[in-house]
Structures are given as structure tokens and as C-alpha cells.
Structure 1
Amino acid sequence: MHIAMVSAECAPIAKAGGLGDFVQGLARELTRIGERVEVILPAYDVLRFDGLDRPRPLGIELQVPFAGEVIQCRVLGLSLDGYECRLIAPRSGHGFFERGRIYGEPDDAERFVFFSRALVEYVSRPESRPDVLHCNDWQTGLVPVLLAERRATLGRIPVCYSLHNVGYQGWVEAGLLAAVGLDPARLLTPERLADPSDPRRANLMKGGIAAADAVNTVSPRHAWELRHTEQGMGLQSWLQRYDYKFGGILNGIDDAVWNPLTDPLIPAHFGPETLPHKAIDRHALRGHLGLEDAADRPIVAIVSRLDRQKGVELIAHGIHSALSAGAQVVLLGHAIEPAIAERFERLKSALDPNPHAHLELGYDESLSHLIYAGADMILIPSLYEPCGLTQLIAMRYGTVPIARRVGGLADTLQDANYSAAPFEQRNGYLFDEPTGEALNSALDRAIALWRDHPSYFSQLRLNGMRGDYSWRRPAREYLALYAYAREARVRRD
């Protein structure tokens, strides 16, 4: 099967968050099991090619209508882990993807609406037409709509649409629809793209859900939450309407990248049979960050974006609580919102003299590996979490998660004390309410077990390390979803 995955991100060349890991991991596994995979991205000026061949021109020129002009785009290509990556590079004074970053521009809506229109031009070429097209998040939500509107000339390409973060739905003005040749008067209706909270705006995610042949999110629990709780962010009834084609598939992690037995970024390798070697990485982490080498204190880590979704109030609370409970704290995180960034800068300044705390404000891929390997526990107090890779990576490295019972966190964690699962399946600590008191309860239980019953705590580590968090099972589920999309397309036609 020829699978084209279209996304704003794909690690390692374009990564701003978990979406990049998702595309890389799924593309790699689908390729491994024999599928033909093509990943299509914008040609950002911040693409990273460390250790990779530079992209090559493919001799493909696209003529993309946009806002009354025709913008030429080159298509570049390179190979990544056996699959092909296509980069769409506009020749335009707009500088759509020449901004020094992937997201965060005032005209992000315009940039990705243009990319969606260019993508449709690419897959309209007979030699580029995939058997199924896999779109991701709001940045490509207009693609299913554009394809549906061109079905008379293009025919129907089966489309699967994955929702990773419905906190960002792609709200755009009517003029942007017209800029890519769509009719706003016909599409800005409650039955199509009109946003539920402001019918004058188009909601690209809403449109993508309606027009795609299959829709999913990245964990079964989150699929339920999107339909039945405020986590649907206004799309609850819309997803209930399309319940027949909507479900959840739990993400995996790339076990070639995240493997403590082979990880080149940590000083000591270890696995379930050699867990004591983790102590070497703990010592290295303390030395690297200047923490006191205190054998009587566990290390509680936080590796996270610092934004409201991730529970910044609870993160700050958890730092103080862990220190008060006699633990050491390590944070690696970055904030885009200025008020949050300023708050954590102040917190860092206040804690810098403390020999048991280190806050690293930014993102450092190498340091994240050392933190996962050296920490004892990891705090994940998300307000909502579609899937979460943090807990999966942490468990692989023998670091016990302390997390809020939402989304994929609830799907992947069994509480050490309050679970019907056998002890050998318990792998972390969960709390329900987004309050400091609830967090403290889970944190205190974890620290008490580490201090008073180290052998039981080691067993929790081993339980987590022995789980299968790879892409093998999810990839098979995505193949079934693609088959459903293709069958649905045949039935519609």
C-alpha cells in the first residue's frame, strides 16, 4: 500500500513536539513491515539534517493557486529510515516557511492553508497519488475538504485524519477559504466548516472531521473524553455525530531511539536484568546538573512543555512539594507564552542556590535522555493528555510516572496501590483531580515506597520496563484504519 502521511512535523528533521515523534515512529514501523510510505512536509528553513543527506530536487514543479496568484513550488526529496520524505518549497515573497521556526507566527493559518493547497496539487499528479492519505492536526485539516471539493476532476483519495491536540483547531477567516479556491458562502454553514462558537470563522479541524473517511485520536480514553467531556473543546457533539468513523489508537515510542540498553546519550546502559547500572546514570545526572550527591533523596523529574495543557500550576506546586518531601527535583522545559516563561525564570532564580534542585529552561534532546535514565520518578500533571510519550519513555528507562488519570496516561498506567491489576502490571501512581492536594497524595505515596520499601519500588520500575510500548501494535491498527478508510471511500463512490 502507498501511504502518504502529511504533517507539519516529522522527527528528526522537523520536530516541535510529540507530533514529530508520532510521524517518524509510525512511518518507520509501516516501512519495516513492507508498506510504501511517503511523508510530506513544508520545506522549513529550520530543517535539521545532522548525519543525513541533503534533500535533492525531484524535478517536480507545482503551480499552486493562492489569493489571486499562482505560486510555484519545488518538491525536494530525501530518504529517512527507508521511507521517502517530500518537502514542498514555495518560490514566493510570502516566505511561508522561512521564519526560523515551525510554529508561532501571526500568519500560521495562512501558511498552513497554503501548504494544504500545495499538497493537493502534489497528490493530484497521477504518479504521486497514494492509496491512502493520512492527515494530522489542524494544519492539514483543510486537505480532506479540498479533496472532497475536487472529487469531480480528481476522484476520491481515501483520507484518514488524526487528532493530536484539539486545543488548536485551526480557526481561519472566510477570506482564506476563498484564497485557495473554495466558496466560503457554501462552506461556512453549521453542517460544514462554520465554527460552533463563531459561525463567521471556519474551523479547519471540524471540516477535516466531516470530510475524512476515518478519524482517530491517539488513545482510546482520549477518544471518549473528546466526545463526552469539556476536553472536546466545543467539538463534542460534532464527534458524536461522526462516532461511526471515530476511535482511538494508542501511540507507541521509537524503541530504537528510546532504549536504555543501547542509548548512546547515556553513560551506562541497563535493562531489566541490569537495573543496578541505572545508579551510574543517576550519579552522572547529578554531576551534570550540579546536584548534591545525596543517596537518601530520590530524583523527581519533569520533562515537559511549559503550557497550560501540561498543568503549569501543578508543575510549580509539585516542584515545591517534592523538595519539601525530601526529594531532589530536575526540570527540563520550555515555555512559549511570555507570562509562563517569566514565572519559571523567577522560580529558577529562587531555586538556583538549592543543591537539590535544577531547572533547565529550554529543550535539550541529549539532556532529556540523561534525565530519563537518571531519575527515579517523573511528574506528569497534565490537565489533558491525548496520549503522552513521556510516561512511555520514562517507564522504558525504569523511571516511575506520577501522573493525572487522563487520556493516554490512564490507558497506560496502573496505580501501585489502587488498581485491580495484578502487582506485576502496576507501574506508576495516578491522581484524579487537578489540585495540589491530589498531586501530593500520589507524590507522597511514591516517595514513601522509594524510601521505606526499596525492593517494591524496584519492582515497579521493572514492571514498567517490561511493557511493550513499541509501534508494532499501533502500526497494525493503523493499517486496519486505512483499510476502513478505503472501504468507506468505495461505499461513498
Structure 2
Amino acid sequence: MYIVQIASECAPVIKAGGLGDVVYGLSRELEIRGHAVEIILPKYDCMRYDQIWGWHEAYRDLSVPWYGASITCDVFCGWVHGRLCFFIDPHSEDFFFNRRTYYGCDDDNMRFAFFSKAALEFLLIANKRPDIIHCHDWQTGLVPVMLFEIYKHHGLEFQRVCYTIHNFKHQGPAGAEVLTATGLNRPEYYFQYDRLQDNFNPFAINFMKGGIVYSNYFNTVSPHHAWEAHYGEFGYGLGHTIHLHQDKFGGILNGIDYDVWNPQVDRFIPHKFTPETLEDKQKNKKALRERLLLQHEDKPLIAYIGRLDDQKGVHLVHHAIYHSLLRNCQFVLLGSATEAGINNHFQHEKVFLNDNPDIHLELGFNEELSHLIYAGADFIVVPSNFEPCGLTQMIGLKYGTVPIVRGVGGLVNTVFDRDYDETHPPEERNGYVFYQTDYSALESAMDRAIGLWRYYPEEFEKLQLQGMAHDYSWNNPGEDYLAVFELIRHK
């Protein structure tokens, strides 16, 4: 099969979150299985050009229709760790992708509407005819709309679209000007509930809804989150639209790259280890304590790695720090806040706890340090309010770092409570799960985990090994996506 990914990120060249990891990891898995994969991305001025090999101009003077006129683009090409990527560079007074940022501009909807239009125009003009176009999140929600309404009449009639939603919270609302700009026009046609009209704002179109309505198949990134989005609050207003299109909807769990996240080969940790040499994990714990100036004592080390925001359950992260101290444990935090108020709060805590030999708060993100924390910690806490998939807990499992998670989204599909999970036999259980968002629920799970470490070390080691035995690579998701691609290809 010939598959083209259209996305706003691809790690490590463009990475703002998990989306970049997924686009890269899935593309690599599909190629390993013998399929041809190309990735189309915006050419941001702030991306990691040092991660691109063989940079060259692939297509000059691509004329993209826009507002009844056109914008000329150049398309560059290069290999990102073996993946063939095309980068669209518009010559526009709007400087769509020369903003020193990936997201967060007032005209993001216009920026990515243009990118979606340019990506399709490039496929058309460069005579690329993929079997599958796989697009991601609200930024590319208009791709299947324009493919069906415009480009199928110009030579892209056989292409099928899989649309993957990584986060329902951000949906890309816009006004009628986007329809005019892209050449879709006809606002009276698109401002219909069964097309692009936002479910709650009759004066807005919704990019993500467009992707759902017009794609041949759409999915989110774990089976449980698919259920939450369909029947619960985490569809953020799109639940009824999902229901109307449920016959082409599913959940496929993300994978992680075991060439990067694997204690057997990890180049960022001082002591590599395997399930057979699990005792060497203690050497990494010692190295982590030395690096962060924590005291060397026989006590559990609990970690949090991730953004500090409401999605991640920041109030519970804060509580976990002090509950760890109360239970005579150590706590390491690595993360950056997305809001000034949360950042100020944790800066204050960092100063307040600075001299405590059992706590280290690292505000920011450091890839190298994150590997050492996974390798050295005993537990990783993931108390998210919602979590479409979650990679942290899957990485923790691979490193023998037992996850303590809230039972939402992909966390439910990957972590099975040692004491209470009735859907998996004891030998498949791998962590601790709590369900409420209050402090006592978190404390209960933490206390069970700490108690096992403290009083039943052999049972704790058994739990670590059971976690390490789970396969959360791209192997199974790769198979699932290919099954979807085959299904829609023959429709």
C-alpha cells in the first residue's frame, strides 16, 4: 500500500506533544511491514533542521488556490531518521509558518486550512496517488472535506481517508472566511448540522467535525477513550456526531518506540538492564539521586513526568508530592506548565522544597533526564483528568517503573490493578488504578503501592517483571491500522 500521512507534527523534527511521536512511530512500523509511506508537514522556521538528512527542493512554484487568487509554495524534501518527509513552504505575506512557534496564533485555523489545501494540491500536481491519506487532529480536519468536495473531481477520486483524533478538546472552530479562502465557498451548504456546522455554535464551522463527517474511517487513540468520547463528556460536544457516524469509528491504542524507550538499549542511562538483570535498575536509581542531589536512603522513589495542566490532573500531582513526603518516600517531578498561574504555583513549591533531600522539582523538559527518571524511579504517577492514550505509563512499564494511574482513557487499556482488576489474571496485572479525582482516591492507590514495595519486596519485583513483559510497541497498533486501511480501501 502507498500511504501518505498529513500532519502538523512528526518527531523529532517537529514535536509539541505525543502527536509527533505517533506520526513518526506509526510511519516507521508501516514501512517495516513493507508499505510505502510519505509524510507531508508544514515547513516551520523553528523546527529541528538538524534532524533532517538529504534536504533538497522537491517541487518549485506550487500554486495553491487561495481567496480566489493563489499563493506560491516551494516544497522541500528530506529524510527524518529514515522517514521521507515533504515540507510545504508558502511564500505569503501572512508568514503562515514563520512565527517561531508551531501553535498558539490567533489565525491557527487559517494557517492549517492553508496547509491542508496545499498538501492536497501537492498530491494532485506532483501526480501522487496514495491508496490511503492518513490525517491527524483538527489541523487536518478539512483534508477529507476538500478531497471529497473539490479534489475528487480533479483526479484524486480513488483516495481514501483515515482520520485520527488525538485530542477531542481542540476542534478548530472558524467562520465562513475559511470556506471562502479554501474555495469550498457555499456557506449555506456547509453550515448544516450534518456537515461542518459546530454542534453548539451555529455561526461557526468545526474542522474536527468535518474530518469525522467526510472521512472514510475515524478513530481515537485508545479503545476506552473511544467509548468516553462517544458516550461520555470527553467528546467535548461531538458525541452526537460520533454517534451518527459510529459505524466507521473505533479506538486504536498508540504504541511506543522500543528502539528509543527501552532500558536494554537506552543511550541516556548509565546502566542498561533487562528483566534478567533487573537489579541493575538500582544503579540507575543511585545515579538519579546523585544527579538531583537526593539523599541515598532505602525508600521508594516516585516520579511524575509530563505537562503541568488541568488535563494531567495537576491538583493531584501537587498532592502526590506531599503525600510521598508523608509516607517517607522521595519524589521527582519533570514537567512544564502550560499556564502562568500553574507555573507560578510550582515555581513557589520548588523554592519552598528546595532544601528537602527527598524532593526534586525540575520545571521544564529535558529528554535525557526523562530517560534517567524512568530508569531510576520505582513508581510513576499519572493522575490525569482525561488521557486519550498516554505514553508515560507504557514507558514506565518497559523500565520496571510501576504505574499508579487514574482509570481513564488509554490508562484503562494499559494498566491493570494488582489487587482489584477482575478482567486480567494476577500474572498479567502491572500497576495500580484509582478512579475518583479526590485526594483520598490517589492516596489509597499510592499507599497500596508503597506498602508492597516496603513489606513485600519479592512481590514488588514480580509486579515490575509483569509490567516489563507487556508489549506496547507499534507492532499491534500497526496491524490494527493496516486492517482499517484495507477495509476502507475496498469500499
TM-score category, normalised to shorter length: over 0.9
What does the per-residue CA deviation read over 1:421-474, in whole Å, with 9 as the maximum and x for residues that have no partner?
A: 222211000001111111111011101111111111111111111111111111
Query: Is 1:218 the equivalent of 2:207?
Result: no
Structure 2 counterparts to residues 474-489 of structure 1, below 5 A: 474-488=477-491
State the AA in 2 paired with 1:465: M
Q: Given the two structures, how large is their TM-score scaled by the length of structure 1?
A: 0.97
In 1, are the aligned partners of 2:133 and 2:159 still within 8 Å (CA)?
yes
State the AA in 1 paired with 2:364: G
Structure 2 counterparts to residues 274-313 of structure 1, below 5 A: 274-295=277-298, 297-313=299-315
Query: Is 1:416 the equivalent of 2:447?
Result: no
Query: Is 1:429 the equivalent of 2:432?
Result: yes
Query: Is 1:239 the equivalent of 2:238?
Result: no
Per the alignment, residue 193 of structure 2 pairs with: 190
Query: Is 1:393 the equivalent of 2:360?
Result: no
Per the alignment, residue 179 of structure 2 pairs with: 177
Query: Is 1:454 the equivalent of 2:457?
Result: yes
In 2, are the aligned partners of 1:214 and 1:484 still within 8 Å (CA)?
no
Secondary structure in structure 1 of the residue aligned to 2:361: strand
Structure 2 counterparts to residues 64-463 of structure 1, below 5 A: 64-125=64-125, 127-150=127-150, 151-154=152-155, 155-183=157-185, 184-295=187-298, 297-420=299-422, 421-463=424-466
- Residue 129 of structure 1: CA displacement? 2.1
CA distance in 1, matches of 2:79, 2:484: 25
What does the per-residue CA deviation read over 1:25-59, in whole Å, with 9 as the maximum and x for residues that have no partner?
A: 10011111110000111011122144642521113
Secondary structure in structure 1 of the residue aligned to 2:113: helix
CA distance in 2, matches of 1:319, 1:188: 49
In 2, are the aligned partners of 1:372 and 1:397 still within 8 Å (CA)?
yes
Secondary structure in structure 1 of the residue aligned to 2:268: coil
- Residue 69 of structure 1: CA displacement? 3.7
- Residue 342 of structure 1: CA displacement? 1.6
CA distance in 1, matches of 2:403, 2:26: 24
Distance change (3 Å), C-alpha of 1:156 and 1:176 = same
State the AA in 2 paired with 1:478: Y
CA distance in 2, matches of 1:158, 1:333: 39
CA distance in 2, matches of 1:478, 1:300: 35
In 2, are the aligned partners of 1:165 and 1:386 still within 8 Å (CA)?
yes
Deviating more after overlay: 122-131 vs 188-197: 122-131
- Residue 127 of structure 1: CA displacement? 2.4
What does the per-residue CA deviation read over 1:394-436, in whole Å, with 9 as the maximum and x for residues that have no partner?
A: 1001100000011110011110111222222110000011111
- Give the root-mean-square deviation of aligned CA atoms: 1.3
What does the per-residue CA deviation read over 1:82-104, in whole Å, with 9 as the maximum and x for residues that have no partner?
A: 33111111112211111212112
State the AA in 1 paired with 2:445: A
In 2, are the aligned partners of 1:28 and 1:81 still within 8 Å (CA)?
no
In 2, are the aligned partners of 1:217 and 1:386 still within 8 Å (CA)?
yes
In 2, are the aligned partners of 1:298 and 1:447 still within 8 Å (CA)?
yes
State the AA in 2 paired with 1:416: R
In 2, are the aligned partners of 1:219 and 1:248 still within 8 Å (CA)?
yes
Distance change (3 Å), C-alpha of 1:273 and 1:42 = same
State the AA in 1 paired with 2:380: I
Per the alignment, residue 475 of structure 2 pairs with: 472
Query: Is 1:13 the equivalent of 2:13?
Result: yes
Secondary structure in structure 1 of the residue aligned to 2:127: helix
State the AA in 1 paired with 2:258: D
CA distance in 1, matches of 2:180, 2:135: 21
Task: Give the paired residue count.
Answer: 487
State the AA in 2 paired with 1:90: P
In 2, are the aligned partners of 1:36 and 1:83 still within 8 Å (CA)?
no
What does the per-residue CA deviation read over 1:252-286, in whole Å, with 9 as the maximum and x for residues that have no partner?
A: 10011111001100000001000000011111111
CA distance in 2, matches of 1:471, 1:228: 27
* Segments of 4+ moved more than 3 angstroms: 49-52
Secondary structure in structure 1 of the residue aligned to 2:218: strand
State the AA in 2 paired with 1:304: G
- Residue 79 of structure 1: CA displacement? 1.6
Query: Is 1:59 the equivalent of 2:59?
Result: yes
State the AA in 1 paired with 2:153: A
Distance change (3 Å), C-alpha of 1:52 and 1:8 = closer
- Unpaired runs of at least 5, structure 2: none
State the AA in 1 paired with 2:482: L
State the AA in 1 paired with 2:341: A
Identical-pair percentage: 48
In 1, are the aligned partners of 2:270 and 2:284 still within 8 Å (CA)?
yes
Q: Given the two structures, how large is their TM-score scaled by the length of structure 2?
A: 0.97
In 1, are the aligned partners of 2:403 and 2:432 still within 8 Å (CA)?
yes
Deviating more after overlay: 78-87 vs 144-153: 78-87
Deviating more after overlay: 385-394 vs 101-110: 101-110
- Residue 156 of structure 1: CA displacement? 4.2
CA distance in 2, matches of 1:340, 1:65: 43
What does the per-residue CA deviation read over 1:304-332, in whole Å, with 9 as the maximum and x for residues that have no partner?
A: 11121111111111111112111111111
